[in-house]
Structure 1
């Protein structure tokens, strides 16, 4: 076929196409074609289409008018009205709409004579013998073949010489050149002149068949190609042209037989093997397609299209190593094909080679920055590696390509949350939920952020809705429990995490939250028992270490608590929660207060409005005897959470109770 739009292509607007077109991508708008327009199995279109012939193998929402023939293949879907002269609907196709049959197809009009202003379509030009076809549909089904190549001109290209009257080869020479420049009327004259001299010239019949094919006069084209084959049965190109014409005219079984005969005549012809493989691929005969495409590649290693097609089949079969080998072979032929780098990245990713996959996604994105799939895959990989800046850059690029993609905005929210830009994170989650209302995963991610920000009421409301829709979703129940813990709803929280730990006894995060709940209920011994069980499952987990440290602090075992926090901070030097807890313990133990003050200041540089961090700083100032600073800071905490009774008690203490003088103390509990 003249044009082939692969899976992954996305277009929008008005598309005017010339020649036969196979479309396997996504499109929204209007399409005008004066040739054969085929929606492939992977194609998804929204909009109206006007064509001479139309075949649907994929999904379409819109109205279609086909001047001559309209075919709906098994497995396809069309929602809209159709009008045509000749209608073919296969069993298993889905059609919802009205149908109008027109009286007769319009007479064929040479494209160069069509009126200006209307979309015109060039017919396929003759291609060299090594060009390859692309077939559509299954056995016995009427199809429109999207030929990646034009019909072959038998015997290759002739060297042009001055015309010698009475020599048919010279007329064939001239006709072939005219075909190459799409001068079909003039080419027809030359081929007919050759036959006036000798009707036994197979190249003249093949050339004339080519003319009729381009003029969509398939009946006459078939007659000429059959005559060419009869005159020279050993010519594979003539047989391939005949097979192509059968396909275009909807005679799939005859096309298959013609392809088979071409291979039978020359079993070592890579073009014939490649086209046979393409035919079987589009017919759904995967095993047969792989066999023929492999044979074609063995004979002609630089057959780019055969490698591309066989890699698609191997990926479908999850034969990733073989697919990777074929894609790498294709890239040796076309190094700068972004779609092929993207396909290699996908194959590597599915085979578990994430780092190599990321390299291919980056190459695809660099070669063609507007490939959404490459940007999103690259961004995902960066995110998984914790490279938030690189991930942010790729996701922002993806957002410019698909600004209404909720996944992109949700991931941007996660990245901003990781970068501690909470305001932007919330904005992105809000946008994501506006684009995809009720999306459980996005709501859960936003709920986690709200819990981390201490906005427990909003988090509870959101997660209650999620759990209502998905009552068995353990992670959603866990986030809801954390929100309720923050609100002090301890009995309900205890019930949630007790049920989760009973059902998932090896999930350390659920044991952690159960331990924290028991700690808030002042069941400290039980809390430690649960937390040590969690630490055994995930040794060194900073959240678990922090919780153990907190419980020991509540028990008054400050030295033991300090040892746990110091060890946790050594292992996680950027853990600000651990810093704050250790600073608070120094204040309560009344030791190392200068170190505690430095830690507290560091936490507030990053989180200046965390009220619990401000409370720790005020306690440190108090034990250091700087009551004015202690009072000023606790007032800031009260401004942030006016109803916090503990902070009001702290304010009263700072104003009315003089701190004891600092003294050197041992760290034994």
Structure 2
């Protein structure tokens, strides 16, 4: 541990020098004898105690080692070798809190010493609540020493903490001190992470000019070119990295990334497999390679999916889970694919295989979703309840997104089941109640839908959702014949500060003397609340034979709405209500050429047939 000291030339110093030579030659016990002589000759000579402490530690005589390190500090409290020796000894004994004062004092005196820095960081990693101390220590070490290695370590730590901009600032200063292929590559990574691909490319081109054999810069260039969609250059750069070092798994990862972008999925599978094989062949360092191993498996999963080989993709994730059992992606990705291909039972089997409680907590919402997809709604609720005891607001919103996603994909039954549970869990949440009411309208459960929507619309603290509820009520009242109520609900929206906000809504149409529901019933139309309110208001006015009012609403829509197709559909309805069927058909025909969805197209064609 301690191999070099500056010593005065006296007898004890000569004996210590002899002991160092014996230690270097492998004669530890003989070195200890010589040091004992030195202490006998001069009991106050601290360097002899320091070296004895190191030798006893090397020979696993830990109790003796600690005694001699501490004795050295009794003699010379500021002896730097003794401070470091005792501090690192205590680290080796997992006595982290005891080690801190010695290593901190040593690093203050020797700000460029990497051994003490490493010891301090190890201690902080093992002590709870010391995350800020890690950053402060690295920052102080860098600022006091301006040592490029410390700067790189500090920059990397900032990246790990999700602060790429500050990491870029630090590494820019590092490059100003030492411009090498390595420092340029470190800075380039921060540029990539701050969305500055152009400057990252410039830095890496400069790096390969300085050192054409620096494979890390070449694979960085491969990533830059890939993100810039210059795939041919990206592949060329990845090949250069592999030519320099064919045994570095990251180089194969870089090649696989570009091949995926090129759509060469079979070749991407070969490249990613080569990277995996290199990692498997490593005798040590596998923990360091694990993040890349995970990416390589995910590359293979993506390639199989793009090739349409779902079974192979799922099998690849099974292999990945065997090697890295606690990576949530190896569960989440196959489950999501299986659940969208009507294989929810197989998806549930994967989730049921999770044994790590922390991992299960992360995947809990996904399991809730799969259980609902299988129609096991009560089981889903019983499963998720314990996870709602903490972060309840955040997690309820995740469940709400799941229900909305079901509805977006036309799965109304599980969507309604999810939102019924959400309303029971949090009855006064405007989003939950208004969405459930919206879903129930389409199912024909208008009485319960009305109760829910009125509750939201009348609530003073739900903001936007209160006006969304008014829009939904306007639609509901139109399709149930309560036209005056629809008019009032629409008027409330048009007086609201939220009228320009967008939401998924429905509108009704008055066609040939009947109120027609929205052709796009599931999931509805993304539109402004103002457009929805005016559309329903126009339909209600026509139903009440208030044609002049309906015409006025259409003019407002023409002036303010960006949804020209919707405006045309309503305008045609007004022409038909006036009795000008040819004008109505002409207007609808114009809309027909512009609509980009099948339900509206089918509705328009049906309206024109009825109007002839």
Give TM-score scaled by structure 1 length. 0.45
More helix by share: 2
Normalized per residue, the structure richer in strand is: 1
Structure with more contact order per residue of length (Cα contacts < 8 Å, sep ≥ 6): 1
